[in-house]
Amino acid sequence: MERQSQRSPFSVSFGSSETPRPSDDALLYRIHTAEAKLGVSRSTIYRLVNEGQLVLIKIGKRSSGITAASLHALIERNKTAAC
């Protein structure tokens, strides 16, 4: 007896070329990840947000993230200033 392949109606096959990659605009770093990437403290992250150098997005009532674009822009500005 030949076994037929049964597929769930909910399964979707994604090939490597079909999988969409989010842009930097869609990526958020949690606060602890942003701290680690920049090598600064939590209070410095919030100071940079208050100064407008980083963009903070509220995810929920008690969680937030820093946009990847603002974090990368801060790194690039500081890299240029150091040279």
The reported pLDDT for the residue numbered 2 is 53
Per-residue pLDDT, 10: 46
9: pLDDT strictly greater than 70: no
pLDDT in tens, 14-61: 454 555 555 656 799 999 999 999 999 999 999 999 999 999 999 999
* Residue 18 Cα distances to 8, 22, 38, angstroms: 20, 13, 33
| pTM across the whole model | 0.66
- Rounded alpha-carbon distances, angstroms, from residue 65 to 16, 32, 56, 75: 28, 9, 6, 17
51 against 13, higher pLDDT: 51
* DSSP letter assigned to residue 19: S
